[in-house]
């Protein structure tokens, strides 16, 4: 995780020393590992502060018999944690950034976007198919995924396979794969498997040409109260500039498309030689129709940040006061421009049909 070290620490510690910083998290093992990693970094930066982790269940954790795309709730894994933030029961919450909607409820903001781990999807095979790839699985093999985005892209790429919804946390899904004879393989985010220490279960990594990833996948976001300047300053040192700018572009693309988990939308971003490249795509539910485009923008992140009042410092729900505003706006504009291009080429009808079909099933 990025940070400008202990220079920032002293002033923050003075104003926060009298309070215990309470950190909210979901109860799953992965959520706890992610939260522990962020708290460990904060403790190293601010050795004089005390932190307490408070775990709670969310709607998404409780409704396990329905596909995520059917529940029709944008803040499935965040709402209960936001209630706790609102009631001052916690001071910050660690999320997988991909779980955070592109429009946050009033009063909240993402105060840090931590350095991204591998954003790709990974295939975990049933023990009897270890050594296979999706391409070499037998005809009509069933592959489990909770994501319309993955299913749409992979049905198009691997028409000999069948895709079926699978829910539950990582432990539950792996148990379903291994113990039931229902699935030949399941698709999971590579970053989650890495954080759990389960890299040995990864049978195949899906690169963007096979399956583009979800907006924000692989990155952690720290949500705080938008007006709690002490906590904003505290977590702001965790921002990783490259991850932040890539994710601003991705979130702006998704927001402008009005996408969510009920439609298949995917992205791929890269920063190289001062250029931010964004590829975005939309698919019909069965993957038969698709549309993809790539655009790029010049991004300068070495420029000095100029302090000045902002009417609304947030971009796509993110506040980053220590990263040049010009770079953030360029990333946001790139996302909006790419979404506009796809909408002008007919993406809206693909998304509308996908949304209607998903609602009807």
Q: How far apart are CA 108 and CA 338, in angstroms?
A: 27
Residue 154 neighbours by CB under 8 Å, 6+ apart: 134, 143, 145, 161, 163, 187, 206, 210, 211, 287
CA distance 118 to 23: 25
How far from chain centre, in Å, is Cα 54?
21
> Any idea what DSSP says for residue 131?
T
Instruction: Note if 99 is an active site residue.
Output: yes
Encode burial over 68-77: b for 16+ CB neighbours within 10 A, e otherwise: bbeeebebbb
The answer to whether 121 and 150 are in contact (CB under 8 A) is yes
Angle, CA of 81, 225 and 240, to the nearest 5°:
90
The catalytically annotated residue of 61, 65, 99, 233 is 99
Would you say 283 and 151 are in contact if contact means Cβ atoms under 8 Å apart? no
The alpha-helical segments, DSSP class H, found in 200-324 are 229-236, 241-257
Cβ count within 10 A of residue 21: 21
Which residues are designated catalytic?
99
């Amino acid at each position: 995780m990025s940070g400008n070290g202990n220079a920032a620490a002293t002033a923050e510690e003075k104003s926060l020393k009298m309070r215990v910083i309470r950190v909210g998290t979901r109860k799953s093992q992965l959520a706890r590992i992610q939260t522990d990693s962020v708290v460990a970094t904060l403790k190293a930066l601010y050795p004089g502060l005390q932190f307490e982790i408070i775990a709670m269940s969310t709607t998404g954790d409780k409704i396990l018999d329905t596909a995520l795309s059917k529940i029709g709730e944008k803040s499935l894994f965040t709402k209960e944690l936001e209630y706790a933030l609102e009631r001052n029961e916690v001071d910050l919450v660690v999320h997988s950034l991909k779980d955070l909607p592109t429009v946050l409820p009033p009063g909240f903001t993402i105060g840090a976007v931590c350095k991204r781990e591998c954003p790709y999807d990974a295939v975990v095979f049933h023990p009897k198919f270890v050594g296979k790839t999706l391409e070499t699985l037998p005809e009509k093999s069933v592959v489990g995924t909770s994501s319309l985005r993955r299913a749409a892209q992979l049905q198009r790429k691997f028409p000999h396979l069948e895709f079926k919804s699978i829910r539950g946390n990582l432990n539950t899904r792996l148990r379903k794969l291994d113990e039931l004879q229902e699935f030949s393989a399941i698709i999971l985010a590579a970053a989650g498997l890495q954080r759990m220490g389960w890299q040995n279960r990864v049978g195949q990594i899906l690169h963007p040409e096979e399956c583009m990833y979800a907006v924000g996948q692989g990155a952690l976001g720290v949500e705080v109260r938008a007006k709690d300047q002490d906590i904003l300053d505290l977590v702001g040192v965790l921002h990783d500039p490259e991850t932040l700018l890539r994710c601003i572009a991705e979130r702006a693309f998704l927001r402008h498309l009005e996408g969510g988990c009920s439609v298949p939308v995917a992205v791929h971003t890269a920063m190289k030689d001062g250029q931010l490249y964004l590829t975005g795509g939309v698919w019909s539910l069965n993957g038969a129709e698709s549309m993809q485009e790539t655009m790029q923008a010049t991004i300068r992140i070495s420029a000095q940040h100029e302090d000045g009042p902002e009417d609304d410092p947030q971009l796509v729900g993110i506040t980053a006061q220590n990263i040049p505003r010009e770079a953030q706006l360029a990333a946001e504009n790139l996302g909006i421009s790419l979404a506009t291009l796809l909408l002008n080429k007919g993406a809206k009808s693909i998304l509308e049909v996908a949304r209607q079909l998903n609602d009807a099933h």
